[in-house]
Structure 1
């Protein structure tokens, strides 16, 4: 019984040409330099965060907003988890229902990229000295601000808030680009830009709550995409 038939062509030597990866790594290098130049000193981050901060009450009024705290922070993350589980299911059980072996392999690879991308952000966050906006002195918290690549002052505990972990839950959906790339380019682009938009939406919600800066969100997307490129470049060969 073929319930999951899709118009896949015969497997090729590699899913995407080497030139694609060279262009992407070059783009990531340019973006890293741009992010550091524009956001490294924190001025733009602080300027944007000030719009959602109330200096009179010394807190972020939307920190416990129901839509941001539950819909954006919980429900949207659950949507991403469901899509990841569905990708795993297609990769493992798809051939039983008519999905060809090559398509199933791509779904398994996409699921692996999602897991590794999310884990990479989580590990970097746990090792990070940088604090969330609501923990900083200028936003009613207790910790001094530390620019990117700078060290914490003596006696200050690590903030573990960079890059943005929640936004990575949306960015990992970009992994589905590689499922369709080369075979169905419009659908591949839809997943790429959809995952990017989903991650930015989740990141902006956290920024409004005071949980992250803009740079935290953008670097999270950078790490996730770099991780997915590496996973597909290393494991995407037949």
Structure 2
């Protein structure tokens, strides 16, 4: 991954629309096809009890799944309030466009993930027969909402990885250190959300990697026009 955003639209597109999300998708496909998804899920499944011990653990369900998700929602709402207030607040006014782009970028990825959940039959690990459920594995697409498995891609992971919008926002504002801090935060939060939901039996590794790829691609798509303009101006 480059130390700074490349200085041309072509390189920006290559890195952030192709290479990085493409690598995530490639690893996701490998995890699904190699049996890694199932092997990881099996590690978290307790045969004796017939379920995932962490599924109802307080720290996983109440803190990571619910409380932390609400913190992210509050952050997103805070950014929206800042964007709305920017015209009347001197310190925020110069950053109004970046604030709105960040709000849009942070919301687009999870929205796409939510829409995709409604059109495929992928189910969660805990729904499968081998993990205490009643469903057979299925990977059909373009099904009705009634047939949808509502599990692919990973919704909670999409929330965590949506913080990548802060990375692009900081780079656009010329704050490289803040950008790297945002990238680290994104990987930590997205990784934590992904790991906990896997331990609960809610998602496979591939589900979460797809969410990360979608978030990255969506955030770049939102910021691309502004980044292209900044790249041309810096020449």
TM-score scaled by length of structure 1: 0.84
Of Structure 1 and Structure 2, the greater helix share is in 2
Q: Which residue of the partner structure matches residue 69 of structure 1? A: 61
Secondary structure at the residue paired with 2:163?
helix
* Alignment root-mean-square deviation, CA: 2.2
Q: Which runs of 5+ in 2 are unaligned?
A: 1-5, 230-235
Secondary structure at the residue paired with 1:64?
coil
Query: Does residue 140 of structure 2 align to residue 151 of structure 1?
Result: yes
Matches of 2:108 and 2:122, distance apart in 1: 22
C-alpha contact 1:207 1:214 (8 A) present in aligned 2: yes
After superposition, residues 99-114 of structure 1 pair within 5 angstroms as 99-114=91-106
Q: Residue 16 and residue 193 in structure 1: after superposition, are their counterparts in 2 closer, same or farther (change >3 A)?
A: farther
Matches of 1:201 and 1:172, distance apart in 2: 13
Query: Does residue 227 of structure 2 align to residue 227 of structure 1?
Result: no
CA displacement, residues 28-60 of structure 1 (integer Å, 9 cap, x when unaligned): 223323331x21326101111111111122111
Q: Which residue of the partner structure matches residue 164 of structure 2? A: 174
The number of equivalent residue pairs is: 217
Matches of 1:101 and 1:237, distance apart in 2: 22
The Cα of 1:225 is off from its aligned counterpart by 0.7
C-alpha contact 1:109 1:236 (8 A) present in aligned 2: no
Matches of 1:87 and 1:25, distance apart in 2: 24
